[in-house]
Structure 1
Amino acid sequence: MRYYLNRVGFLVLSIWAAITLNFILPRLMPGDPAASMIAKQAGNINPNALNAIRQQLGLSNGPIIVQYWQYVQHLVEGRWGDSFQYFPTPVINIIASSLPWTLVLLGVVTVIAIIVGTLAGIWIAWRRGGVADNVLPVVTMFGQSIPVFWLGLVLIYFLAFRHPFFPLAHGVSNNISPGFTAPYIKSLIYHGILPGIVVFASTISGWVVGMRNNMMSTLGEDYVVFAEAKGVSTRRLVFSYAARNAMLPQLTSMAIALSTLIGGQILIEQVFSYPGIGFALTTAVSSEDYPLIQGMFLIIAVVALVFNFIVDILYGWLDPRVRRRGATS
């Protein structure tokens, strides 16, 4: 129990640090973001408009402690400011509309790659020395070595432009009304196939090779050899004795993969004009949309911390030794 309480405390402390850093960074930027925005739009600075935008950004001449307290209070209340680019749309509404696209497509494909790669690594390690052991890691590593933006452009050119099997861009057809309906879901899947292939091809190799190497090391352990000599069934030997322990390093890799899920696939979303967090973030940066950038960075940090927390809990559940060490630290 102490291990889990320590993990919860670390999560809370990390989120607080992310919020504080997100508060400090805009105030360390040179110049005045509000004045820059007004000058870009109108050419001259209206004092009333400048003051209004400074309030939206949470910038004031008051004490820094007061500004920080107001910033945290606004975060808790869901008042993250209004986007400059999509004014007067609130930042939290834009994040809420962009985040599901990234989580559903990239999250589902990444989880599929983890499951398929881990199972493939278990299989080829058990059948080590066979054809799959010699071919599959090489093929998957070739797919991972291709730059994701180049692979995406190649797929778009051959499968969407030259031969229109798939759509060129976007996440859903414009002529379909959003809703939990068969045409809408079909359009979502149809538009997500090409970016899904790119994500899968660029991530599968690490899971295959990593699990294979872990399994090869675990299968040589004395307890596995002893269990095999006792006549333990192959299924139990592979999954209960070898794979469970070999999977522990995979959880660390999974934590890294899931924590970079939201902000790590910006190029893929940009190539396919997919309306996720990465696409919205690049658009916000190019438009100098400071409130939206600030909100995006915060949500990326929080999601990364939550995923790491979930993996820590799974790690402690799979390996009791981790719980004991964590409880005493």
Structure 2
Amino acid sequence: MLKRYPTLRYILSKAGWYFLTFIAAVIINFFLPRMGASNPVDIIMAKVGAGLDTQAAIEKEESYLKEFGLVEVDKDGNIIRDESGKPVQASSFKQFIRYVTMSLQGDFGTSFLNYPKKVSEIILGAIPWTIALQLPTIVLGWIIGNVLGALAAYRRGIFDKFFFPLALLGNAMPFFAFGMLLVWLFAIQMHLFPAIGGYAGDLIPSFSWTFISSAIYHFILPFLSIFLLSAGGQ
């Protein structure tokens, strides 16, 4: 049936890959922080635990363990303790089920690197920047890539021999690898563009020309890293 509807087959194929990518990201994001010797609570306590007395530090640590779902709790939300009075650690399976359930509900928990910010707040703050970068690069890359492809097919010769190998190279290179190459060349070696950031660190986001020009200046390298490969991959 799907052979008769190639567009539908393409959409379903893309949706399937996106779903598998989401599942893989959830699994990796859960297990990666737990592969080290410490847990998120240890990282937070190293920042906020200084100056607290022993009892206050224990209470603070237990509240974090409960918040991150690392300990067992009863139906009333109280931490379950063993015979020695220590919190009973939740199994990895229970932690994973809780994490997946919360993720499917759009609740990605609390960031332990930017505590007490919610992960969803960090994502929402990054979405406008992502759209501002991805939308023009995808649209312009598709238009210019198809125009160059048509010219290469129409005017065979030097243009075709020059453009086709570059397109193959661009199509095989990951965006992040090409981006790092551009940063190394134009930011680190030639000092023409900034290596990090969306705008100068001493500026506050506003509609002033100072901020807009700084944002455009920081926008150039990320734009080129996606645009050039998108154009070559059409």
| TM-score between the two structures when normalised by the length of structure 1 | 0.45
Q: Percent identity?
A: 24
The answer to whether the Cα contact below 8 Å between 2:41 and 2:112 also exists between their aligned partners in 1 is no
The answer to whether the Cα contact below 8 Å between 1:79 and 1:92 also exists between their aligned partners in 2 is yes
Verify: 1:200 aligned to 2:215, yes or no.
no
Distance of 2:186 and 2:36 partners within structure 1: 42
Q: Residue in 1 aligned with 2:186?
A: 155
Q: Residue in 1 aligned with 2:68?
A: 57
The answer to whether the Cα contact below 8 Å between 1:148 and 1:202 also exists between their aligned partners in 2 is no
Amino acid at match of 1:100: P
Distance of 1:138 and 1:125 partners within structure 2: 13
Q: Secondary structure at the match of 1:84?
A: coil
Amino acid at match of 1:54: L
Q: Residue in 1 aligned with 2:113?
A: 85
Amino acid at match of 2:162: V
Amino acid at match of 1:205: G
Q: CA deviation at 1:51?
A: 1.9
| Alpha-carbon spacing, 1:183–1:77, altered in 2? closer, same or farther (3 Å) | farther
The answer to whether the Cα contact below 8 Å between 1:152 and 1:198 also exists between their aligned partners in 2 is no
Q: RMSD of aligned C-alpha atoms?
A: 4.5
Structure with bigger RCO (C-alpha 8 Å, 6+ apart): 1
The answer to whether the Cα contact below 8 Å between 2:45 and 2:61 also exists between their aligned partners in 1 is no
The answer to whether the Cα contact below 8 Å between 1:58 and 1:67 also exists between their aligned partners in 2 is yes
| Alpha-carbon spacing, 1:107–1:55, altered in 2? closer, same or farther (3 Å) | farther
Q: 1:114-160 CA distances to partner (integer Å, 9 max, x unpaired)? A: 332222112211333x3321222345567787954233222123352
| TM-score between the two structures when normalised by the length of structure 2 | 0.59
Q: CA deviation at 1:91?
A: 1.8
Q: Structure 2 unaligned segments of length 5 or more: list them.
A: 74-89
Distance of 2:23 and 2:207 partners within structure 1: 38
Q: Residue in 1 aligned with 2:215?
A: 188
Number of corresponding residues: 201
| Alpha-carbon spacing, 1:12–1:61, altered in 2? closer, same or farther (3 Å) | farther
Q: Secondary structure at the match of 1:86?
A: coil
Deviates more, 1:66-75 or 1:182-191: 66-75
Q: 1:259-283 CA distances to partner (integer Å, 9 max, x unpaired)? A: xxxxxxxxxxxxxxxxxxxxxxxxx
Q: Structure 1 unaligned segments of length 5 or more: list them.
A: 161-165, 208-329
| Alpha-carbon spacing, 1:142–1:181, altered in 2? closer, same or farther (3 Å) | same
- 1:112 pairs with 132, 140, 159, which one? 140
Q: Secondary structure at the match of 2:190?
A: helix
| Alpha-carbon spacing, 1:178–1:123, altered in 2? closer, same or farther (3 Å) | same
Q: Residue in 1 aligned with 2:31?
A: 25
The answer to whether the Cα contact below 8 Å between 1:82 and 1:90 also exists between their aligned partners in 2 is yes
**1:3-14 alignment, distance < 5 Å:** 7=12
Q: CA deviation at 1:192?
A: 0.9
Distance of 1:108 and 1:40 partners within structure 2: 42
**1:61-72 alignment, distance < 5 Å:** 61=72, 70-71=98-99
Deviates more, 1:40-49 or 1:133-142: 40-49
| Alpha-carbon spacing, 1:138–1:38, altered in 2? closer, same or farther (3 Å) | closer
Q: CA deviation at 1:171?
A: 1.2
Please state which structure has a larger fraction of its residues in helix: 1
Verify: 1:170 aligned to 2:202, yes or no.
no
